[in-house]
Amino acid sequence: MLADATGHQTLREREETEGTSRGAWMSAAVTLGLVRDFEEAFSVAASESSYDPCDPNPANVARYREMRERMNDRYARESLATQ
């Protein structure tokens, strides 16, 4: 779903683990200067071999793009109406 919503390839863990905890650790490590950047944090947190690429589905990408445009149009109309 994330690959479809962003239109970019993502990585999916092969084994079910607590991904949010890993993400929190990566953010903290970058913020505290324990690692240079998120790329380094990712390589420290887990080997890339434990992930599979997840490519976006072009039909879903188009649908998400359409929904995002409709949402942005709606927000623009609503913000003009409240001014």
pLDDT tens for 54-64 read 999 999 999 99
Looking at the structure of the chain, the number of domains it has is 1
Using alpha carbons, select from 36, 34, 43 the residue that is nearest to residue 11: 43
Structural domain harbouring 27: 2-81
Please name the residue that has the structure tokens 């683990």: 17
What's the predicted TM-score (pTM) here? 0.55
Please name the residue that has the structure tokens 């434990």: 50
Digit-coded pLDDT (tens) for 12-39:
877 766 778 888 999 999 999 999 999 9
Contact 10, 54 (CB under 8 A): yes
